[in-house]
Amino acid sequence: MTEDLLTIGDFARASGLSHKALRLYDDLGLLVPAYVDPASGYRFYGPGQLDRAVLVGSLRRLGMPLARIAEVVGLGPADAADAVAGWWSGVEQQTGARRDLATLLVDDLARKGTAMTAPMTAPRYTVRHATGLDAGLVRPAQQDAVHAGDPLFAVADGFGDTGAEASSAALAALAAALPDPTDASTDVVQRLREAAAAADAAVAAVVGDTGRTATAGTTLAALVRTAGGLAVVHVGDSRVYRLRDEGLFRLTRDDSLVQAMVDEGRLTPEEAWSHPQRPMLAKALVGRGTEADVRLHDARDGDRYLVCSDGLSAVLPEAVLRTTLTGAADPQAAVDALLAAVRDAGAPDNVAVVVADVVTAGGGTTGGGTGGAGLRRLC
């Protein structure tokens, strides 16, 4: 029965795939052997399966997720070609975003390298901002919260039975505990961590004793004016982005199980986008002494910041965020366009969003050009 078939060893050599890869593709249904010996479990493949094997291996080396490969190999040659071209276009967009991030890191490291021995001094600047809240089209209640006013621009995404109370309490406590933004002599990072600890304590007062498992709490993403520029305070999977010179940079790292798998190389960014465990948090404010991540950034004329809950970032790809932020004339137009795009995409979750434009003294307009409405004097 196996005279015309290839052993797994011969097939591996002919296709360029390893035994381990062939076993994986068999388990996933991507490349099922023509025959499996019922006694030994040994796999045999037909010569006609080589083209499919080479295609699967090539797509995997390109970095295509296995779920997408399963779709492509089920198509005819013309449709498969279109599918690969479409996927690669998305990869190129992601590569551009990573290139922008590399540029951001180089700029920030260079700035720190020349200014580590002296306190940062920022020019006088103003911030024009707009906010938005939307319960979405699926959730029965709004558990997100937003705060926007000198010196704090922040969102919080509550979860659990008391999630709405937790998100509001966290933002109120954070705002009350922030250091004086005009005082350059303080240890800004430490003071901001203490403010985040106050927010966590406020969450504890709301959620109470939940036993060994945290069942309620909130994420936090905040942009804070400091004497030296702007700081980002972050816990969870809400995000802060910066649009600079038309490049969109994510300034936060998700505290999530899926992000950890991406960091470990177990998932590609595209696989993470649709992973069923994406909402599972590795860290949040749950009233148990969670420490926030705090990063300092410069304030540059023309910067546009987006602070949002995952109800926005988990629905709209970063390419859409960049295009929308770049094209909006002012923060309110950006917020309106983002919320409309989320609703068009089904709005499966609550959404909280802040868009903030930085204008230094004597500087011009920001982003796509901002109007005078909503001007808040920060320095």
Token output for 307: 């602070």
pLDDT, tens only, 120-172: 444 578 889 999 999 999 999 999 999 999 899 999 999 999 999 999 999 99
Residue 257 belongs to some domain of the structure: yes
Q: Note whether 42 and 168 are same-domain residues.
A: no
pLDDT, tens only, 313-340: 999 999 999 999 999 999 999 999 999 9
256 φ, ψ (degrees, to nearest 5)? -140, 160
- What pLDDT score was predicted for residue 339? 98
Cα four-point dihedral sign 329, 333, 335, 336: negative
Q: Above 90 in pLDDT, residue 372?
A: no
Q: What's the distance, CA 372 to chain centroid? A: 30
Helix then strand then coil, % of the chain, to nearest 5:
40, 20, 35
Residue 11 belongs to some domain of the structure: yes
* CATH number of the domain that residue 167 is part of: 3.60.40.10
Q: Note whether 185 and 298 are same-domain residues.
A: yes
Find the farthest-apart pair of alpha carbons in the chain and give their distance in angstroms, rounded.
83
In angstroms, the Cα distances linking 227 to 17, 47, 183, 252, 379 are 57, 69, 6, 21, 9
Q: Note whether 290 and 143 are same-domain residues.
A: yes
Distance CA 274, CA 272 (A): 6
Task: Provide the pLDDT confidence category of residue 351 given band limits of 50, 70 and 90.
Answer: very high
Residue 268 belongs to some domain of the structure: yes
Distance CA 300, CA 90 (A): 30
- What pLDDT score was predicted for residue 274? 66
200/187: higher pLDDT: 200
Calculate the average pLDDT of the chain.
84
Q: What's the distance, CA 376 to chain centroid? A: 28
Task: Provide the pLDDT confidence category of residue 119 given band limits of 50, 70 and 90.
Answer: very low
Q: Above 60 in pLDDT, residue 365?
A: no
Task: Provide the pLDDT confidence category of residue 379 given band limits of 50, 70 and 90.
Answer: very low
Average pLDDT over residues 282-309: 93
Q: Among residues of the chain, what percentage have pLDDT more than 90?
A: 46
Residue 1 belongs to some domain of the structure: no
For the entire predicted model, the pTM comes to 0.67
Three-state DSSP class for 59? helix
Residue 201 belongs to some domain of the structure: yes
Three-state DSSP class for 172? helix
- Asked if residue 151 has a cis previous peptide bond (ω within 30° of 0), the answer is yes
Cα four-point dihedral sign 322, 327, 333, 338: negative
Q: Note whether 138 and 21 are same-domain residues.
A: no
Q: Note whether 226 and 239 are same-domain residues.
A: yes
Ranges 90-99, 165-174, 184-193, 248-257, most confident: 165-174
Q: For 115-163, what is the HEC assignment?
A: HCCCCCCCCCEEEEEEEEEECCCCCCCCCEEEEEECCEEEEEEEECCCH
Q: Note whether 49 and 162 are same-domain residues.
A: no
Number of domains in the chain: 3
107/41: higher pLDDT: 41
The closest of 237, 94, 240 to 153, measured between CA atoms, is: 240
Tally Cβ neighbours within 10 Å of residue 41. 7
Q: Above 80 in pLDDT, residue 283?
A: yes
Token output for 314: 């988990």
Q: Which of 44, 65, 86 is the last residue in one of the domains?
A: 65
Yes or no: say if 293 and 282 are a contact pair by the CB < 8 Å rule.
no
* CATH number of the domain that residue 59 is part of: 1.10.1660.10
290/111: higher pLDDT: 290
Task: Provide the pLDDT confidence category of residue 4 given band limits of 50, 70 and 90.
Answer: confident
Task: Provide the pLDDT confidence category of residue 116 given band limits of 50, 70 and 90.
Answer: very low
Q: Note whether 39 and 144 are same-domain residues.
A: no
- What pLDDT score was predicted for residue 280? 77
Q: Note whether 43 and 183 are same-domain residues.
A: no
Distance CA 339, CA 346 (A): 11
8-state DSSP, 196: H
Q: What's the distance, CA 29 to chain centroid? A: 31
Q: Note whether 81 and 192 are same-domain residues.
A: no
- What pLDDT score was predicted for residue 117? 38
Task: Provide the pLDDT confidence category of residue 98 given band limits of 50, 70 and 90.
Answer: low
Q: Note whether 112 and 198 are same-domain residues.
A: no
Residue 40 belongs to some domain of the structure: yes
Q: Note whether 314 and 278 are same-domain residues.
A: yes
Q: Above 50 in pLDDT, residue 99?
A: yes
Which structural domain range is residue 47 located in? Answer: 6-65
Average pLDDT over residues 253-261: 82
The closest of 116, 177, 170, 169 to 151, measured between CA atoms, is: 177
Q: Above 50 in pLDDT, residue 118?
A: no
- What pLDDT score was predicted for residue 233? 97
Average pLDDT over residues 301-314: 95
Residue 70 belongs to some domain of the structure: no
Q: Note whether 269 and 293 are same-domain residues.
A: yes
Residue 144 belongs to some domain of the structure: yes
